[in-house]
Structure 1
Amino acid sequence: MKKIMRSAWILAFPLLAACSAMPVKTASSPRWQQQFSETLPLLGHRNWIIVADQAFPQLKAEGITYINTGDRLLPVLQEVMAAVQQSGHVKPIVYRDKELQFITETQSTGIGAFRDSAAAALKGNNVREMLHDSVFAKLDAAAGLFRVVVLKTDEKLPYTSVLLELDCAYWDGEKEAALRKAIAQP
């Protein structure tokens, strides 16, 4: 009987060792997609989403939430843009750093391919460019009243962060102007 138990243990040990070496995903450490999908329905008009390169600073304003993606910027941007487009309640006003268009391939290898891929990911959106330092003034003003979500990526190319100011998807400026005009009339 002891021989059989010893043989069973010898046969079972490699299986147990293999199982213990397998990675285990736990619910207590959700991936960034899960955190973002739980956050997006709570965001609305005047909230911000930033898909940031790795050097983007951690700002100390209370209204800013950080999610570390551990991924490259372009795949994160594509997923965020798709989620925002499908949300039905918000649409993005897209901002990019103006400096990005002036960086050459000799200054930062891969920047040209990045620009092309980012343009494809943002196709169909009106992309506004502003100087990098202006970004922080906008964020400072927004974070005082509205939530800002920063999705921090592992991207190591300069001036590649993309900022999305959220607008209402089902109410536009023309409808708002007509409403204000109707309210103002006696």
Structure 2
Amino acid sequence: MTRSVAAKAAARSNRPDRVLTFVTGLVVFALGALALVVGFGWLGAYRAQRPVLDPIALDWLSRQDPVLTRAVAIVVGLLLFVLGLWWFLRSLRPEPRPDVALDRAPGREVTVSASAIADAVRTDAEAIDGVSRARVRSVGSAEHPALRLTLWLREGSDLRDVWHELDTQVLARAREALDVAVLPTAVRLELGSAERRRVR
């Protein structure tokens, strides 16, 4: 079963960044371990004294077709540059916060802004008994809206009651207002801690 655009947006993941960081760290770790092995002379004392740019490798490269070697190096360098630039721009790209069109009929268009949706859901969520604060973000796309909620719960709040009221009232009201049957929502709960008291 494929996930919709809204569901992906509601549960936005850092997996690509984590995978790239892990792979980069693994490669750097492997190169560092190899350098230590060579430096300590475990591959032979003579090999440890040789320069980093192996003369044998340089001699082999010099015997190859210089045009082909340079072309391959330039292509690899350009690919790495484009990949790095794409990843950099992707990391800086702000998350879309689309407005939702409730009525597209000519002359009576009705569009609800993403901030208005977030404010309305946040107000309803903060009215739940046991919720001290809420943060809401409207994500997804104009055709497939989604929500991302963070709720801060007071100490001693009944999690089951909070969840039930959130699902049956807050999210149900949001689905009805947006005229959608399904509204993917990612919910994060922050449990409050006991208030500190000063000892006199």
Q: Normalising by structure 2, what TM-score? A: 0.28
Larger radius of gyration: 2
Q: Normalising by structure 1, what TM-score? A: 0.30
Which of the pair has the greater relative contact order for Cα pairs under 8 Å at 6+ separation? 1
Q: Higher helix proportion, which one?
A: 2
